[in-house]
Amino acid sequence: MDYKVVGKGVRRADAVAKVTGKAKYTGDIPEKGMLYAKLFRATIGHGYVKSIDTSKAEAMDGVVKVVTYKDVPDIKYPTAGHPYCRDPKHQDCADRKMLSDKVRLYGDEIAAVIATSELTAAKALKLIEVEYEELPVLLDAEEAMKDGTPEIHEGVKNNILAKSGYDVGDIDIEEAFARADHIVEGVYETAPVQHCHMENHIAYAYMDSRDRIVVVTSTQIPHICRRILAQSMDLPMGRFRVIKPVIGGGFGAKQDVVLEPVVAFLTTQVDGRPVMLDLQREECMAWTRTRHGVKFHIKTGVSKEGRFLARQARIISTNGAYASHGHSIAAKESTEFFRFYPAELATKCDAYTVYTNMATAGAMRGYGVPQVAFAMESHADDIAKALNMNPVEIREKNMIKEGSTDPRTGVTFHTCKLTECIDIAKKHIDYDRKREEYAEQAGDVRRGVGLAIFGYGSGTWPVSLEIGGARITMNQDGSVQLFMGATEIGQGAETVFSQMAAETIGLPYEYVTIETTNDTDISPFDTGAYASRQSYVSGQAVKKAAFEVREKVLERAGSRFDMKPEDLDIVDANIVRKKDGVALTDLADVALDSYYCTKTACTISSDVTSLVETNALSFGCTAAEVEVDLKTGKVDILNIISVHDSGKILNRTTAEGQVHGGMSMSVGMALAEVMLYDPRTGKPRNNNLLDYKMPTMMDTPHWDVEFVESHDQTGPYGNKSLGEPPAISPAPALRNAIFNATGIAFNSTPMNPQNLFERFKEEGLV
Amino acid sequence: MDYKVVGKGVRRADAVAKVTGKAKYTGDIPEKGMLYAKLFRATIGHGYVKSIDTSKAEAMDGVVKVVTYKDVPDIKYPTAGHPYCRDPKHQDCADRKMLSDKVRLYGDEIAAVIATSELTAAKALKLIEVEYEELPVLLDAEEAMKDGTPEIHEGVKNNILAKSGYDVGDIDIEEAFARADHIVEGVYETAPVQHCHMENHIAYAYMDSRDRIVVVTSTQIPHICRRILAQSMDLPMGRFRVIKPVIGGGFGAKQDVVLEPVVAFLTTQVDGRPVMLDLQREECMAWTRTRHGVKFHIKTGVSKEGRFLARQARIISTNGAYASHGHSIAAKESTEFFRFYPAELATKCDAYTVYTNMATAGAMRGYGVPQVAFAMESHADDIAKALNMNPVEIREKNMIKEGSTDPRTGVTFHTCKLTECIDIAKKHIDYDRKREEYAEQAGDVRRGVGLAIFGYGSGTWPVSLEIGGARITMNQDGSVQLFMGATEIGQGAETVFSQMAAETIGLPYEYVTIETTNDTDISPFDTGAYASRQSYVSGQAVKKAAFEVREKVLERAGSRFDMKPEDLDIVDANIVRKKDGVALTDLADVALDSYYCTKTACTISSDVTSLVETNALSFGCTAAEVEVDLKTGKVDILNIISVHDSGKILNRTTAEGQVHGGMSMSVGMALAEVMLYDPRTGKPRNNNLLDYKMPTMMDTPHWDVEFVESHDQTGPYGNKSLGEPPAISPAPALRNAIFNATGIAFNSTPMNPQNLFERFKEEGLV
């Protein structure tokens, strides 16, 4: 397809706003008479509040109100940012109360202080006195699953929030294993990590003059948030208005409704005055959401040619204290396990999501796939090793192919440029030659190369509803206002939506002004930013709305020039006669007429909903070369490239930015990041950016990025997902590079200096 | 028509917001880093600035920038809040520059100071030094029209901004007068008055990160304002965004673009930082807009039976320093003169709009009709007196009739309940009996009764474009969000729009939430609040949008219940089977399904433009009984009633409020209000609420209000205009009552104690 605006590396729509400080985040909005709330958090990891005394806090100057678990609605609500499902069987687990007397994790929220300043509220917290009855703290999922352990949520047996599984294939799984020439088994485990978005969780709420509750919040999912607010207070949805200003990142942590029900409730306790909850980084890291730590036991039956005959996985997902996204992340891991390397004979999988007394795990960029890909791609290299084959050959023999159809959903994947991606990545690091070269090394500093591949969907169909909304209004000068229900959270959505609108109408990019603030009262409906869905799903809505606007313009222009609309085109905001390319007039002329012609005035606009019933897999490959210092356990990345097939690349510049960020996140997961807990109390040990080791600029190698563009027929502009994919394959590529360098298979993250050094010592390498 | 919500006296949509202080006006919006501007105003009434020295002001601490007439764009722009017309011949007069070195009135704007506080800006103004060259000050229109007077606007001969006229009838006007049995002549004059809306003119502007200029302003006409901003800076309209928060009244003064171009320009001079212009009451009264003082010379040829055979008027409208609405107010007076009392043989009219060195006159509630009605209705009583007939009889013989067609426009007036209105009013004050009784009185305190009638259009068609826009979105609970381009300015528009939406969809009133803030980036297009057009014109858009929503709901419900949509109804937010009235489900169920059904989800919304090509006249009558104290010149209103035919009354409670306010305004014009100027310098003498005598609660009688409801087929719900009509007939009714009481025909406003007393002395009554 020959696009004029789509595909160009135009400047981000929000670039200037962000670098000049004009962008208004939730915390930047001045609100007269704002009150500040602070949450009182439990100082035990598991147990019950026996008594609470807030009288001293209430007596403090500047304290407006103290509320406790006794005051909040006796309603359990779900927090996951999923579209609502009318079928109760598929609704999210509702296990959360705003404030609780059952303490399910260290820091669980028991009470809230509302004061005239943040400082006063913080001081008042210290005056609250609580007596607890403690229960044993359960931090390990397999421990928590054992019979006889206390139930973190009453009635949830063995703390298993959910279990799912499948056993599919032409023959029984055991028989399939029996037919294999080799059986390779491995246990792989990823550690819980945190999103570490720049902007912490922040929200405030007030009541308007109609007693509607307005919540201004840093969320990825304003419309879903509105629905959950209604559930949390048992009020009609129309009573809530959710406003999302500019937001400083979410990565899935804000695909959960964390602060909003509390602030919404708190404002009702102070006559509708605005109440702000602005979490500290320490709170955000420990008490919002994390990425699940997941343990995979994988077993593969392989033919001597390296074909996967039978595959089996047992997945145990450590969910922390509350359900959040519940079992859907483990379920996605199962799906990916089945789909990415289809076994010839049989596949079996059992997945468990287990409550523990630690931070609630929820959505995070990749939604389980970084974990399962770490396991599968580590396992692929383990198989290659066992069979003494080239790891790429093993992959290419077994991986998903273009045109294949998922037998469980019936979805066909029309484009798959995995082979091309692999070729570029391999070539970039001279994989085959170096792999051989690095196979046998001595010395304290060793090098290795590794590679990993992945696939990732675009949106959630057919698991969930996929709906997008867009509204376009043409101004008097031919420029347009674009409104999306979809949310910009830093990923560049506004930019590519603007490009799409310009492309389809026939405008220069600069003619499109997109509204940054989402407001459930004003914005079209869209479920929000998650599942890398927006450019794919919401993009369909932009295209539809833009097409409608284009049609209306051409109809008006046609009647003006006594021509058929189909004989006219809009090119660079001019009305052009197709047959000879002559510009008959400019768009501004037609637009002005649409506003002011006394006989025919009708402003040109469109307001559409788009229901999307397709999905497409994006693919990619990361190849890396590392240098491992055995004596320090430090891994240096010498060279790393990610190559993506995300269909048509909508904006090369912002797409590269996405990949850089994703690679950084995956490198952090691989080499450094882990949430640590005191094993006895469950108290978080490193919930701050000093002790939690995120990669910084000092740790960042040069990121090489390539795209193999395909044009997927299901994407609005041939595009497929790109938001999450970059965060998947770097971690296993690094693991495999370290494996190549040292001969040691590290099956757990993080592969940080301490863990590596201890293992090297254990293995006698140092 | 049997309505369920329309016609009910539901509580105003903005009632709670306003009484609790939650309503946010322009001045209530906190904006970080706000700068404050003050305008430097001329201290002569007419002349030129020879030199200006701003150096001392610029040097002052806290002064950010001083700009003068030398710095502003060299562009003359129009300020009238009229829809744009593409035909240059019908465009508004562009005679205004943001700042000017030609001083056209005392207080004309020469420079502006931007400072970090209002106080600093005010202090800095005093440091600006100006030398002037003075010209004679022209305050009287007839003087200003004389040959040889200086031109206030260069090239405008005899200061006549515009002149129009007609001479229509079957025979020549002079011949028509010759056929008359009586000729009655009179000169009637109304004084310039000010709107005195509660909220002064206020606006601020800033530049967003895309260099678009955002203007937040107390305006009746956000979309028109946007267009004029573009003209004033010669930039594309899409570069501007106009936001109208809650506004505290306008009455036409804010149907003009007064502050916006200046603040928009000023923000560009300080790198887009927000700049506020918040006028003082003194500035608002003297230097924004006033109601035209108009002089009418009327001559009527009457048959012995009292039929009007020939009518002639010469109208001289004193326009002040700038064109503003230009000649259109005088033109409306001419139209009304022709239309309301159609002459049997011939009608002639000449209307002049003349520049003078006083405050610019613009739109004000009634748009010329209060002036012409004062003249015509005074004149009607003068004719009755001359013929010794009952004044009502004279009116009934000659006034416009139901079903008549305006020969100049072809518009037919389908409803006219004037006779019924008169009957009620007469009866209320026992008009006929008291009129006889009061005809001959002695003593210092005398009583009288008077009556006056009027007609007033609904919107501006066919003179101008009439277009309205509405958008409705149904929430998940069946409640709806309503967005209008039309503006609530205190008149209750939001309330009746909400009623209309509820009525047509089939909802309780409470189910409708209307968005208060108009934002040209977000709101549908509509030209705004003026000409009593909104419930009539914009109401059509609400109805159309609501109907679309209703259709969509019924279609979804029909497919759910396997029924035809036309066999279903929406009653009180339930889906009802028409044949037996059984509620099949509630609307919330259908709404929820429209959001979340994975197979058919499509949110229910509508976004419509409505072009209206009809008009309708509202009618009414005021009757009053007064007591006049000859020795003090004081007039007490003993009894006053206004009776209106405004078609269907949409909300009895708010309609009464409208009438009360209009009556008060007209009483003020009749008995007290006048803008005074120093005759030599043109300096305003009473531009404050102490010296300018508005009626207060102390002067307010009990307002009786009645409605004669008609159902006009052209109105969306049978309704016709009601916003301006109440401000028309009380003034002449009072004049006629004073006439009845004292035998003295007061032909000028205000009939304040001073003017009355002087005249009584002159006439030998005291």
Chain A: residue whose CA lies nearest to B484: A522
Residues in chain B closer than 8 A to A85 (CB atoms): 596
pLDDT tens digits for range B342-353? 999 999 999 999
Q: How would DSSP label each residue in A49-88? A: EEEEE-HHHHHSTTEEEEEETTTS-S--B--B-----SSG
User: For residue A277, what are the CA distances in angstroms to A39, A747, B132?
Assistant: 8, 40, 59
Q: Please return the burial class of A305, using the count of CB atoms within 10 Å of its CB with bins 0-12, 13-18 and 19+.
A: exposed
User: For residue A383, what are the CA distances in angstroms to A178, A302, A345, A622, B116?
Assistant: 17, 8, 18, 19, 71
Q: How would DSSP label each residue in B614-661? A: ----EEEEEEEEEEEETTTTEEEEEEEEEEEE-BS-SBHHHHHHHHHH
Query: Which tokens sit at A588?
Result: 């501004």
Residues in chain A closer than 8 A to B86 (CB atoms): 592-593, 596-597
pLDDT of residue A440 exceeding 90, the answer is no
B603/A593 touch (CB, cutoff 8 Å), yes or no: no
CA-CA-CA-CA torsion sign (B712, B718, B724, B730): positive
Predicted confidence band of residue B226 (pLDDT cuts 50, 70, 90) = very high
pLDDT for A19: 94
Determine the residue type at B551.
E
pLDDT tens digits for range A629-683? 999 999 999 999 999 999 999 999 999 999 999 999 999 999 999 999 999 999 9
B601/A609 touch (CB, cutoff 8 Å), yes or no: yes
B477/A238 touch (CB, cutoff 8 Å), yes or no: yes
Predicted confidence band of residue B225 (pLDDT cuts 50, 70, 90) = very high
pLDDT for A625: 98
Residues in chain B closer than 8 A to A478 (CB atoms): 238
The mean pLDDT value for A146-150 works out to 96
Chain A: residue whose CA lies nearest to B30: A30
d(CA B509, CA B394): 45
A22/B209 touch (CB, cutoff 8 Å), yes or no: yes
Q: How would DSSP label each residue in B658-687? A: HHHHHHHHHHHHHHT----B-TTT--BS--
Predicted confidence band of residue B144 (pLDDT cuts 50, 70, 90) = very high
Half-sphere exposure of B137 (CA within 13 A, CB side): 20
pLDDT for B752: 98
Chain A: residue whose CA lies nearest to B227: A476
pLDDT of residue B390 exceeding 80, the answer is yes
pLDDT tens digits for range A30-65? 888 999 999 999 999 999 999 999 999 999 999 999
Chain A: residue whose CA lies nearest to B12: A210
A601/B588 touch (CB, cutoff 8 Å), yes or no: no
B525/A22 touch (CB, cutoff 8 Å), yes or no: no
B86/A478 touch (CB, cutoff 8 Å), yes or no: no
Report the greatest alpha carbon distance in chain B. Answer: 89
B595/A525 touch (CB, cutoff 8 Å), yes or no: yes
Residues in chain A closer than 8 A to B600 (CB atoms): 611
Chain B interface disruption, residue of A84, A85, A92, A209, most B CBs within 10 A: A209
Half-sphere exposure of A287 (CA within 13 A, CB side): 23
pLDDT for A24: 93
Predicted confidence band of residue B408 (pLDDT cuts 50, 70, 90) = confident
Query: Which tokens sit at B65?
Result: 């920038």
Predicted confidence band of residue B209 (pLDDT cuts 50, 70, 90) = confident
Residues in chain B closer than 8 A to A552 (CB atoms): none
Tell me the whole-structure pTM to 2 decimals: 0.96
| H helical segments located in A323-452 | 328-340, 369-387, 391-398, 418-429, 431-438
Predicted confidence band of residue A177 (pLDDT cuts 50, 70, 90) = very high
Residues in chain B closer than 8 A to A481 (CB atoms): 521-522
Predicted confidence band of residue A718 (pLDDT cuts 50, 70, 90) = very high
**Do residues A719 and A712 lie in contact, with contact meaning Cβ atoms separated by under 8 Å?**
yes
Distance to chain A for B238, nearest Cα, Å:
6
**DSSP conformational letter for A25:** B
pLDDT for A209: 87
**Exposure pattern of A198-229 as b/e (b: 16+ CB <10 Å)?**
ebbbbbbbbbbbbebbbbbbbbbbbbbbbbbb
pLDDT of residue B466 exceeding 90, the answer is yes
d(CA B367, CA B472): 32
Nearest in space to B617 (alpha carbons), one of B497, B734, B722 = B722
The mean pLDDT value for B563-580 works out to 98
pLDDT for B514: 96
A238/B478 touch (CB, cutoff 8 Å), yes or no: yes
Averaged pLDDT of chain B? 97
pLDDT for A17: 93
Residues in chain A closer than 8 A to B588 (CB atoms): 236
Averaged pLDDT of chain A? 97
Distance to chain B for A573, nearest Cα, Å:
14
pLDDT of residue B180 exceeding 80, the answer is yes
Domains, chain A: 15-22+467-611 (3.30.365.10), 31-135+201-278 (3.90.1170.50), 137-191+291-399 (3.30.365.10), 402-458+615-766 (3.30.365.10)
- Residue B366 sits at the vertex; the CA angle it makes with B361 and B368, to the nearest 5 degrees, is 50
Q: How would DSSP label each residue in B204-221? A: EEEE-TTSPEEEEE--S-
The mean pLDDT value for B719-723 works out to 98
B479/A236 touch (CB, cutoff 8 Å), yes or no: yes
B238/A84 touch (CB, cutoff 8 Å), yes or no: no
pLDDT of residue A130 exceeding 90, the answer is yes
pLDDT for A439: 87
Query: Chains A, B: CB contacts under 8 A, how many?
Result: 163
pLDDT tens digits for range A310-330? 999 999 999 999 999 999 999
Distance to chain B for A290, nearest Cα, Å:
28
B596/A469 touch (CB, cutoff 8 Å), yes or no: no
Nearest in space to B591 (alpha carbons), one of B484, B507, B498, B500 = B507
Report the greatest alpha carbon distance in chain A. Answer: 89
pLDDT tens digits for range A681-698? 999 999 999 999 999 999
B14/A227 touch (CB, cutoff 8 Å), yes or no: no
Chain B: residue whose CA lies nearest to A32: B30
Chain A: residue whose CA lies nearest to B525: A603
**Do residues A494 and A16 lie in contact, with contact meaning Cβ atoms separated by under 8 Å?**
no
B476/A238 touch (CB, cutoff 8 Å), yes or no: yes
**Do residues B308 and B386 lie in contact, with contact meaning Cβ atoms separated by under 8 Å?**
no
A14/B209 touch (CB, cutoff 8 Å), yes or no: yes
pLDDT of residue B1 exceeding 80, the answer is no
Of B236, B465, B483, the CB nearest to A479: B236
Of A238, A515, A603, the CB nearest to B521: A515
User: For residue A498, what are the CA distances in angstroms to A470, B95, B211, B570?
Assistant: 11, 39, 17, 39
Of A469, A477, A592, the CB nearest to B86: A592
Predicted confidence band of residue B647 (pLDDT cuts 50, 70, 90) = very high
Distance to chain A for B172, nearest Cα, Å:
34
Chain A interface disruption, residue of B596, B611, B612, most A CBs within 10 A: B596
What ipTM score was computed for the predicted complex, to two decimals?
Answer: 0.94
The mean pLDDT value for B657-672 works out to 98
pLDDT for A407: 87
User: For residue A745, what are the CA distances in angstroms to A212, A383, B335, B602?
Assistant: 57, 12, 94, 51
Chain A: residue whose CA lies nearest to B610: A602
Chain B interface disruption, residue of A525, A585, A592, A594, most B CBs within 10 A: A525
Q: How would DSSP label each residue in A468-510? A: EEEEEEE-TTS-EEEEESS--SSSSHHHHHHHHHHHHHT--GG
Residues in chain B closer than 8 A to A522 (CB atoms): 481, 483, 515, 522
Predicted confidence band of residue B30 (pLDDT cuts 50, 70, 90) = confident
Distance to chain B for A17, nearest Cα, Å:
5
d(CA B329, CA B351): 10
Q: Please return the burial class of A565, using the count of CB atoms within 10 Å of its CB with bins 0-12, 13-18 and 19+.
A: middle
